[in-house]
Chains A and B, each alone.
Chain A
Amino acid sequence: DTEVTQTPKHLVMGMTNKKSLKCEQHMGHRAMYWYKQKAKKPPELMFVYSYEKLSINESVPSRFSPECPNSSLLNLHLHALQPEDSALYLCASSGAGPRHEQYFGPGTRLTVT
């Protein structure tokens, strides 16, 4: 099974809301990622977890809070977002280290009103 699942598919939230994005994989991968993708742009890396520990945070604002409860799950907690945070949020997983391809989920389309 080479599937990464993400829920929800679509999310509309106000600027004062708190919501969470969820990502799950059962490939035994020990690295998991959050990316943000704006229209007609490549994915931008936000966070990397390696062996359930945060290893890369690409200077993401604190209104985005990642969490890795176990090796199969990755969450992204959202609070007090801005309209410019509207984007497609992609989760990916891979074996640990660069010599492994990343498998992407279908994404969550987030709209902040």
Chain B
Amino acid sequence: AQSVTQPDIHITVSEGASLELRCNYSYGATPYLFWYVQSPGQGLQLLLKYFSGDTLVQGIKGFEAEFKRSQSSFNLRKPSVHWSDAAEYFCAVGATGANNLFFGTGTRLTVIP
């Protein structure tokens, strides 16, 4: 069965600092992996996705993520955080042969001036 773990419930970073949000997945086959961001009271916006190929994927808003099969990880990174990046971030895995996504519990990002 698929599962996603986001070990960090809450992260606080200073504006301009680098960011890494962790995501570990459990899935027997090649996973389809996603990162979504959600501002309070809003829907989810797709930041980036990994299906196959290059393990370093670029997304919107300056985010990137690296797929590491050996570590079952898909961590999200940004070199310099902006105050507007404060939000909830969800990692998700899609299952082969199914339409549904399995979400991690989310990481709340706070950005301080």
Interface residues of A (CB under 8 A from B): 4, 6, 31, 33, 40-43, 45, 48, 50, 55-56, 88, 90, 92, 94, 96-99, 101-107, 109
Contacts and interface: CB of A to CB of B under 8 A. Distances in A.
A31 B103 contact: no
B32 A99 contact: yes
B41 interface: yes
Interface SS majority for chain A: strand
Given A42-B90, A98-B94, A101-B34, A56 B46 contact: no
Interface of B: 32, 34, 36, 41-46, 49, 51, 90, 94-101, 103-106, 108
B36 to A, nearest CB: 8
Contacts of B34: 101-102
Contact of B99 (A97, A103, A104, A107): A97
Contacts of A55: 99
Contacts of B106: 40-42
B99 A98 contact: yes
A56 B106 CA distance: 24
Given A99-B32, A101-B49, A31 B42 contact: no
Nearest to A43: B103
